[in-house]
Structure 1
Amino acid sequence: MKQKLFKCLPLAAAALLFVNTTQAQEKLDLSTWSIGVNAGVLTPVSPFGGKNDFSNWKSSLGYGLYVKKQITPYFSLRLDGVRGKLKGDNSEPWDGGSTNASPVSAFETDLSYSGSLNAVVNLFNISMFNKNSAVQLYASGGAGLAGYKVKTAAGSGALADYAGGKTIKELIIPVGLGAKFKVAEKVNLDLGWTVNFVDGDNLDGYYRGGNDKYNYAYAGLEFALGSGKQQLAWHNPVALTYDEALQAKQTANALKSDLDAQKAENAKLRAEMSDLLKDSDGDGVADKLDKCPGTPAGTVVDGSGCPLKVPAPVEKVIITESDRKVVADAIKNLEFDLGKATIRSKSYATLNRVAELLIQKNFSLKLAGHTDNTGSAALNMRLSKDRAESVKAYLVSQGANASRIEATGYGMNQPIASNKTAAGRQQNRRVEFTLF
């Protein structure tokens, strides 16, 4: 059992050195690592009763060092190391007056090393209303290994090496209590007392059939490491949560007050505007803006409260094949004087039928004038426009509505046949009629 524990101690120490901080601690910028130094009194006595091997135990100087990792505000792991001497003899009688008949009259133990891994629990660091305390009580317990050399004396003889002067290694179980005082943001005064239970009966060089014990009462300083502004050990998340809840409640109350004030203001505005919003005829327009009060229910009104004038439905224009034939005949028979916009008289009959069609059916007409490529582009553009306008003027003279006739000239830009032949150029010299 002891050998297995010895093998586990280095692994436990490594786990202590490499354990990671939690995300919450990082966000709060808290120190979680610390180192402590202490000095005090080592005594080879059992304060819990049991067997003491020597009637007169002596106090000796001890000193120690530890590294601590704070896991939560209430729990930490601490790696302790202690050195010093333990002494005792039988120069005084037992408390009852009897003499110690032990064959060993005195001993001196050199505690070469004592290393242990301890769990430390803060007992009184939970305060609902205090985020950071200044006084802290704690309890600790763990396991470790001690190595020591013993010298003993028989009768009035001098001290001599026990077990050939070899270093004895034994399992120890340390149990302790302590108090801590914060003297600065990263410095603590540490007062503690630890009882070490030894898994053996040779700490004092005298075997009586029971396990030995020794005490270490100490005082020291603990220094927080890292860049954290506060120590996690002094941090109280319970109080912090209370503060956050209290702040949230205050914020909610402030928001409720603002909401109530806004509601009151809205009610006041509604009261003040009740006259402005009054609508006696229910047409959706306030009386003060209604230019046509008393409109019948269901009447569609405009922004001034007057009945909305609905335009008469537009008749759908239907162009028949006979209508298209009238236009096609006019296009076929349309002729102009050479190089001019003057309409020849032979075209009047078919144009008159187009004018009658526009009057009877209220059609709209688009006239598009085109030329061949003879002459300059500017001349052809002007000539095509003039010919389209000439047709429009004739139709208007026959009673057609001028606003429904559009005349546009395209010059030689939109040929429908080749300009390389006389027949092609004749086809390109045209005015197109489009009914709509």
Structure 2
Amino acid sequence: MKKVNFLSTLFFVSFAFTKINAQAPAPKSAGYEGPNKLNTWALTITPALTQFYGDLRQHDFKLGPEERITGGLGLALHKQISPIFGASLNFWTGNLNGSKQRIYNAHFETKGFLQTSLNAHANLKPILFGYDKLKRWKWDVYAGYGYMWFNSRVYRLGTNKATELIRTNTNRSSKTAGEWERDGSSYTREIVIPIGSAIHFEASPRIDIGIDFTLNHVNTEKLDVTYGGGGGEQYARQDIWTFKKGDSKQDKWGSFGLSVTYKIGKGAVMAKKDSKGNWVHDPAKGRYHLRYTNPLALIPPPYNPTLNDADSIAKANMPKPVDPRLFTDSDGDGVADLFDKEPSTPANSIVSGGGVAMDLDKYVKDIIARNLPKEECEAMFGNIEFDTDKAIVKDPSQQILRQVVDLLNLRPNCRAIIVGHTDARASDNYNIQLSKRRVEAAKRFLIRNGLQDPSRITVEYYGELRPLADNKSVEGMSRNRRVEVRILPMSDLRSTYPAGFRTGKKKDQEPGKPARERRQR
């Protein structure tokens, strides 16, 4: 009994270890937990020949006296946990018999025994040969733990079953830990340890065929209702049936049969070879079975482009070159050269949206004469430049602002937007505040010089975020120190700059640039 307990403990520890491995974070070889689903269940039926190994057996390949060929039927439900490990719930029923003239002169048989066990499987094929060799083959070894129910009877040889010597579960035979009544017969229950091997071939996406051999170790000598070591006499001693532990080993029975497996699951498919002889897996076609599939085969290899490939991809996706005129304003009128219809207007000129110089007095008179509706209030541009680090409107720019006052007073359907800018010679926050002071100075000038409705003035300030020229030269920085005045219809209340430029907001601090201000300008 100690030996049985040890084997039982060893089996359950091994099975628990297999389950823990299956539930642990999946290594690379267990990619079936990923997006590509695989089928993992299968049902196997195995008709087989059965053979008893014990005291009432001649231990040769011939049938003894009054022996017959016996058979059984096995049914197993398999769960594949990984490509190598699996588990199964097994059921067996069948018949056993045996006889021996020497010592016993007896024959036994048990009809309709029942057995169930839980088995752990290991697939040796990928371990020994890899996944791609013998692709359609599976070689399992397995061991398990379960129970066997049987009802055995012993007859004396030559009596044609007229003389029954003993049967299990009677007053003349010691009883086991448990019994089961069926049709008035008492079934003995014993622990059984099945150990075996099976070879399967994947015949189709749904069907496997194979051969299976199992040797079942029964924890008793009661299967043939005898124990070994009866002495040399022809007939047994008086206590031969009392189930004392004899000299022989415990009883066993084996099965050898042809198995047919049905693979359960949705959209079953199996791997096929391409023209080069390589096995191809396409998860889009259906689900492969984990019994024959390495999950890594379902993951396409990463694409590693060569230098030539990378160069071709870069060239194909390279944007068209940007016209440099989009970033230049040669005459400083606020209109990029790409759109400037008059790229050489004098400094401090008031220009239209197309960069054409305009006579503000004549423009105002034309507006009054034509009495244009508010929708036709044409946009005009003018730049007011400032000295370094100053927010004082210079004399040349005051004339422009006076003309703006005249225009707005004569044309109530127009409004003015004053936008402030700086060069880049200070911190972001300082430049924002400086550009704010400049637009406020321009707005105060307009109000003090007679603007009747100050609510039509909108101010925006961007610091150094919108330069007209390069900040590396004196001339460029001078052009960037400016305030733009734009005349727009009252109906157009949108900002003069694209989304993303927020009034008065400093941009993110650049990495490595100290927070303290640079030299003021």
TM, length-normalised to structure 2: 0.43
Structure 2 vs 1, CA of residues 25 and 36 (structure 1 numbering), >3 Å: closer, same or farther?
farther
Structure 2 vs 1, CA of residues 114 and 129 (structure 1 numbering), >3 Å: closer, same or farther?
closer
Give the Cα–Cα distance (whole angstroms) in 2 for the partners of residues 365 and 111 of structure 1: 113
Identity within the alignment, %: 20
Residue aligned with 1:201, SS = coil
Give the Cα–Cα distance (whole angstroms) in 2 for the partners of residues 110 and 140 of structure 1: 26
Aligned CA-pair RMSD = 5.2
Structure 2 vs 1, CA of residues 236 and 254 (structure 1 numbering), >3 Å: closer, same or farther?
farther
Alignment partner, residue 54 of structure 1 = 58
Structure 2 vs 1, CA of residues 206 and 104 (structure 1 numbering), >3 Å: closer, same or farther?
farther
Question: Are 1:80 and 2:90 counterparts?
Answer: yes
Residue pair 1:55, 1:89 contacting (<8 A) in 2 also: no
Alignment partner, residue 121 of structure 2 = 120
Alignment partner, residue 149 of structure 2 = 147
Structure 2 vs 1, CA of residues 54 and 364 (structure 1 numbering), >3 Å: closer, same or farther?
closer
Residue aligned with 1:239, SS = helix
Give the Cα–Cα distance (whole angstroms) in 1 for the partners of residues 98 and 133 of structure 2: 47
In structure 2, stretches of 5+ residues that fail to align are: 64-68, 171-184, 229-245, 269-286, 347-352, 358-381, 385-395, 403-447, 454-521
Give the Cα–Cα distance (whole angstroms) in 2 for the partners of residues 55 and 128 of structure 1: 39
Alignment partner, residue 237 of structure 1 = 295
Structure 2 vs 1, CA of residues 25 and 34 (structure 1 numbering), >3 Å: closer, same or farther?
farther
Question: Are 1:30 and 2:88 counterparts?
Answer: no
Within a 5 Å distance, the mapping from 1:53-202 to structure 2 comes to 54-56=58-60, 58=63, 59-90=69-100, 101-125=102-126, 130=132, 133-159=135-161, 160=164, 161-163=166-168, 164=170, 166-202=186-222
Give the Cα–Cα distance (whole angstroms) in 2 for the partners of residues 363 and 175 of structure 1: 107
Pick the aligned partner of 1:43 from 47, 51, 57.
51
Residue pair 1:25, 1:232 contacting (<8 A) in 2 also: no
What are the Cα deviations for residues 139-170 of structure 1, in whole angstroms up to 9, with x where unaligned? 11111111112222335334435234742211
In structure 1, stretches of 5+ residues that fail to align are: 92-100, 296-301, 316-360, 367-436
Pick the aligned partner of 2:260 from 216, 221, 230.
221
Give the Cα–Cα distance (whole angstroms) in 2 for the partners of residues 185 and 223 of structure 1: 9
What are the Cα deviations for residues 370-403 of structure 1, in whole angstroms up to 9, with x where unaligned? xxxxxxxxxxxxxxxxxxxxxxxxxxxxxxxxxx
Within a 5 Å distance, the mapping from 1:395-410 to structure 2 comes to none
Residue pair 1:131, 1:236 contacting (<8 A) in 2 also: no
Structure 2 vs 1, CA of residues 130 and 273 (structure 1 numbering), >3 Å: closer, same or farther?
farther
Residue pair 1:138, 1:178 contacting (<8 A) in 2 also: yes
Alignment partner, residue 366 of structure 2 = none
AA matched with 2:119: N
Q: Deviation of residue 40 (structure 1)? A: 1.3
Structure 2 vs 1, CA of residues 56 and 107 (structure 1 numbering), >3 Å: closer, same or farther?
farther
Q: Deviation of residue 54 (structure 1)? A: 3.4
Residue aligned with 2:151, SS = strand
Residue pair 2:56, 2:106 contacting (<8 A) in 1 also: no
Give the Cα–Cα distance (whole angstroms) in 2 for the partners of residues 183 and 153 of structure 1: 46
Give the Cα–Cα distance (whole angstroms) in 2 for the partners of residues 364 and 227 of structure 1: 81
Residue aligned with 1:167, SS = strand
Residue pair 1:56, 1:90 contacting (<8 A) in 2 also: no
Give the Cα–Cα distance (whole angstroms) in 1 for the partners of residues 115 and 452 of structure 2: 115
What are the Cα deviations for residues 263-289 of structure 1, in whole angstroms up to 9, with x where unaligned? 8x67xx77x999x99x9x9x9979xx9
Q: Deviation of residue 27 (structure 1)? A: 4.9
AA matched with 2:260: L
Aligned residues: 284
Give the Cα–Cα distance (whole angstroms) in 2 for the partners of residues 72 and 61 of structure 1: 33
Give the Cα–Cα distance (whole angstroms) in 1 for the partners of residues 92 and 452 of structure 2: 115
Structure 2 vs 1, CA of residues 363 and 189 (structure 1 numbering), >3 Å: closer, same or farther?
closer
Q: Deviation of residue 86 (structure 1)? A: 1.8
Within a 5 Å distance, the mapping from 1:280-295 to structure 2 comes to none
AA matched with 1:138: D
Alignment partner, residue 256 of structure 1 = 310
Give the Cα–Cα distance (whole angstroms) in 2 for the partners of residues 189 and 138 of structure 1: 13
AA matched with 1:192: D
Residue aligned with 2:116, SS = strand
Residue aligned with 1:31, SS = coil
Alignment partner, residue 312 of structure 1 = 397
Structure 2 vs 1, CA of residues 251 and 217 (structure 1 numbering), >3 Å: closer, same or farther?
farther
AA matched with 1:235: T
Alignment partner, residue 227 of structure 2 = 207
Residue aligned with 2:296, SS = helix
Structure 2 vs 1, CA of residues 30 and 362 (structure 1 numbering), >3 Å: closer, same or farther?
closer
AA matched with 1:173: I
Structure 2 vs 1, CA of residues 240 and 64 (structure 1 numbering), >3 Å: closer, same or farther?
same
Structure 2 vs 1, CA of residues 364 and 260 (structure 1 numbering), >3 Å: closer, same or farther?
closer
Residue aligned with 1:144, SS = strand
Q: Deviation of residue 222 (structure 1)? A: 1.1
Within a 5 Å distance, the mapping from 1:2-13 to structure 2 comes to none
Give the Cα–Cα distance (whole angstroms) in 1 for the partners of residues 111 and 217 of structure 2: 17
Give the Cα–Cα distance (whole angstroms) in 1 for the partners of residues 298 and 308 of structure 2: 21
